Amino acid sequence: MEHLRRLQIERPVVFWVVVLAGFFVAFQLLLFVAALLLGPFGLPAWAPIAVVLAGLVVVARRQQR
């Protein structure tokens, strides 16, 4: 954690690029797993995206309580 704080202070552009890349990779991984789980059901291509976004909404609502 200390390394990330130091990186944020010394090189903020690199820090934000790493954060954005991490979010992108995590979202792609979630979509991949959702597609693997929902694939055999013959659902439309947008179904994994809807499942992932619904899951993120549920997590966000639980954190607000």
Residue written as tokens 């979202």? 27
Which tens digits make up the pLDDT trace of 56-65? 899 999 998 8
The proportion of the chain whose per-residue pLDDT surpasses 70, expressed as a percent, equals 100
Residue written as tokens 């789980």? 37
Q: Is the pLDDT of residue 7 over 90?
A: no
Which residues span the domain enclosing 15?
Answer: 2-64
pTM of the model: 0.68
- The whole-angstrom separation of Cα 11 and Cα 3 is 11
Q: Are 32 and 25 in contact (CB under 8 A)?
A: no
Among 61, 55, 47, CA closest to 26: 55
pLDDT number for residue 19: 92
Q: Domain total for the chain? A: 1
